[in-house]
């Protein structure tokens, strides 16, 4: 799996940090509101409970009855509604054993007649501590406070219960309003963060993109330019220095390699030239020796022998002259001029010389290119001659030449149904001096490739032995 680019990862990381911060702040805000609401309800219940206990204490101090547990209901009952109305509070009074003594008239539900044993067990008199029992029913939270009330001698008389219903409607409205404003602010912040993240990631990676472009353009076969950056970070400067040092070493290696290749090429060329020239020298030597023998014998067929000897020498000299011309042409390739030519017209004239060959020519429309017409004819001659020689042993030879205009340029193809090129030799087909024929110097296809590449073109081929061989030339087209 391919990883995203560094620029994309920086951009995503910055956006992720902004969104994470937004979610954390929203979460902290919700928790804070919840804690504040809980604290508010606890403090409000405590205040109401303290007010109630003060009111009950005043009633105890002002009664004419004996202040004891048996008289609690009698003492407080006449004042229950008044106390509940003044303090706006509901409450209940239970005996020390947990039985209900009395309750205010503002109760929304029937109060429990007795306290549970669990609540009584948790309460401890004379400690001043309150028992808070929290329960939730149908989503409504109820807090019930239980505490002792004491007589004038600080002896427990009864248990007072103050129920309290948490009303979070106002707090929820405030929280929702705050979250809406917070989301609006965060949307604006997110848009700003996206814009800033784009520019920040572009700023951070701009030098890396420059280095990447230079690395992709670096080739051993051409002169590579060094990278010059201003205001680059220390890490980028180190990387640039390493690249520039590599360019220097690459240039030195290219010079050494080119020199070595030239030396190897000239050695191979010298061997090939010596071999090709040596071949006709041997029959020339034999002809001269044979001529000397005939002269020594005083043969009566003198004129005929002189004619045969002359023809043999002329033939071998022509062979040597052809070899020299071929190597001379290859050594000076490519030469020519770039001019606007009609490829269809030039190829058609070149094929007129092969009227007797089984050649079919097809071109959809006129195709124009900047090329040397003479060099193009040379290419066609070479490819057609190769195709004719490949089809010598085929019963029904077919050679097809086509010209098509495609998006990549003008495609000139020559294909034949001859013997083809063996698979193990196809990688060497464009090497100078390499040939699969018994005659020739193996410079034709190398010359074709050199000419086409000079005009920014390309040569490819595909060959299936004893079936089909296709050479395809692609050259840039012009209007």
Q: What is the pLDDT along the chain (479 residues), one digit of tens a residue?
A: 666 776 777 788 888 888 888 888 888 888 888 888 888 888 888 888 888 888 888 888 877 777 777 777 888 888 888 888 888 888 888 888 888 888 885 555 556 678 888 888 888 776 667 788 887 777 677 788 888 888 777 888 888 888 887 777 777 788 788 888 888 888 888 888 888 888 877 777 777 777 777 777 766 666 667 777 666 667 677 777 777 777 777 777 777 776 776 666 666 666 666 655 665 665 566 666 666 676 676 655 666 666 666 665 666 666 666 666 656 555 555 456 788 899 999 998 888 878 788 899 998 788 899 998 888 888 888 888 888 888 888 888 999 999 998 888 999 999 999 888 888 887 777 776 556 554 554 557 878 888 888 888 999 989 888 889 999 999 998 87
Tell me which CATH homologous superfamily contains domain 6-172.
Answer: PAS domain (3.30.450.20)
Q: Which two tokens stand for residue 220?
A: 């051993």
pTM for this prediction: 0.40
Taking alpha carbons only, the member of 133, 54, 128 closest to residue 89 is 54
Distances (CA, A) of 477 to 163, 277, 460: 94, 42, 18
Burial (Cβ within 10 Å: 0-12, 13-18, ≥19) of residue 469: buried
Q: Which of 112, 111, 114 is nearest to 97 (CA)?
A: 114
Whose CA is closest to 459, among 432, 430, 428?
A: 430
Identify the pLDDT of residue 441: 47
- Is the CB of residue 208 less than 8 Å from the CB of residue 236? yes
Stated as kind and residue range, the H or E segment containing 102 is: strand 100-103
**Positive or negative: CA dihedral 365, 371, 374, 378:** negative
| Token pair in block for residue 347 | 């190829």
Distance between CA atoms of 192 and 208, rounded to whole angstroms?
25
Q: Which helix (H) or strand (E) holds 121?
A: helix 117-122
Q: Tell me the chain's radius of gyration from C-alpha atoms.
A: 54
How far is it, in rounded angstroms, from Cα 342 to Cα 410? 11
Q: Say what the pLDDT of residue 51 is.
A: 87
Query: Is residue 476 within 8 Å of residue 455, measured between CB atoms?
Result: yes
* pLDDT (0 to 100) of residue 138: 72
Buried b / exposed e over 185-196, threshold 16 CB at 10 Å, is ebeeeeeebeee
- How many residues in the chain? 479
Q: Which CATH architecture has domain 339-475?
A: 2-Layer Sandwich (3.30)
Strand-pair category, 92-94 with 100-103: antiparallel
The Cβ of residue 18 has, within 10 Å, a number of other Cβ atoms equal to 18
Extents of the domains making up the chain: 6-172, 234-331, 339-475
Q: What pLDDT shows up at residue 128?
A: 65
CA distances from 454 to 214, 255, 338, 373 (A): 24, 21, 10, 14
């Amino acid at each position: 799996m391919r990883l995203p680019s560094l620029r994309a990862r920086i951009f995503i990381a910055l956006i992720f940090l902004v969104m994470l911060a937004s979610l954390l702040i929203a979460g902290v805000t919700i928790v804070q509101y919840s804690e504040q609401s809980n604290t508010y309800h606890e403090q409000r219940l405590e205040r109401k409970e303290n007010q109630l206990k003060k009111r009950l204490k005043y009633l105890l101090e002002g009664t004419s009855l004996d202040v004891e547990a048996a008289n609690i209901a009698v003492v407080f009952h006449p004042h229950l509604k008044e106390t509940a109305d003044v303090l706006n509070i509901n409450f209940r009074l239970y005996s020390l054993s947990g039985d209900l003594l009395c309750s205010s008239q503002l109760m929304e539900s029937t109060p429990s007649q007795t306290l549970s044993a669990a609540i009584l067990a948790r309460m401890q008199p004379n400690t001043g501590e309150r028992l808070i029992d929290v329960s939730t029913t149908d989503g409504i939270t109820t807090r019930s406070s239980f505490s002792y009330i004491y007589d004038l001698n600080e002896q427990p008389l009864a248990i007072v219960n103050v129920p309290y219903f948490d009303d979070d409607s106002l707090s929820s409205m405030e929280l929702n309003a705050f979250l809406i404003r917070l989301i609006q602010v965060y949307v604006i912040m997110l848009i700003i963060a996206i814009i800033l993240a784009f520019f920040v990631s572009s700023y951070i990676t701009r030098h890396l993109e420059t280095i990447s472009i230079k690395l992709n353009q670096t080739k051993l076969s051409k002169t590579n330019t060094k990278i010059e950056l201003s205001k680059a970070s220390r890490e980028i400067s180190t990387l640039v220095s390493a690249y520039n040092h590599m360019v220097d070493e690459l240039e030195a290696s290219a010079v050494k390699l080119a020199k070595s290749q030239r030396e190897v090429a000239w050695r191979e060329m010298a061997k090939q030239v010596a071999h090709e020239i040596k071949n006709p020298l041997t029959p020339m030597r034999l002809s001269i020796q044979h001529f000397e023998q005939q002269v020594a014998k005083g043969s009566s067929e003198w004129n005929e022998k002189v004619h045969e000897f002359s023809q043999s020498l002329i033939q071998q000299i022509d062979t040597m002259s052809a070899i020299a011309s071929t190597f001379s042409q290859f050594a000076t390739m490519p030469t020519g001029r770039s001019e606007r030519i009609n490829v269809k017209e030039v190829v058609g004239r070149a094929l007129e010389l092969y009227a007797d060959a089984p050649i079919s020519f097809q071109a959809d429309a006129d195709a124009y290119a900047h090329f040397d017409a003479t060099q193009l004819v040379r290419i066609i001659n070479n490819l057609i001659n190769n195709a004719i020689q490949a089809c010598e042993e085929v019963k029904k030879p077919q050679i097809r030449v086509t010209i098509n205009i495609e998006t990549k340029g003008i495609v000139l193809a020559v294909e034949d149904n001859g013997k083809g090129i063996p698979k193990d030799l196809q990688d060497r087909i464009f090497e100078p001096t390499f040939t699969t024929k018994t005659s020739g110097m193996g410079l034709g296809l190398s010359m074709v490739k050199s000419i086409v590449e000079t005009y920014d073109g390309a040569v490819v081929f595909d060959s299936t032995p004893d079936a089909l061989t296709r050479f395809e030339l692609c050259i840039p087209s012009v209007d």
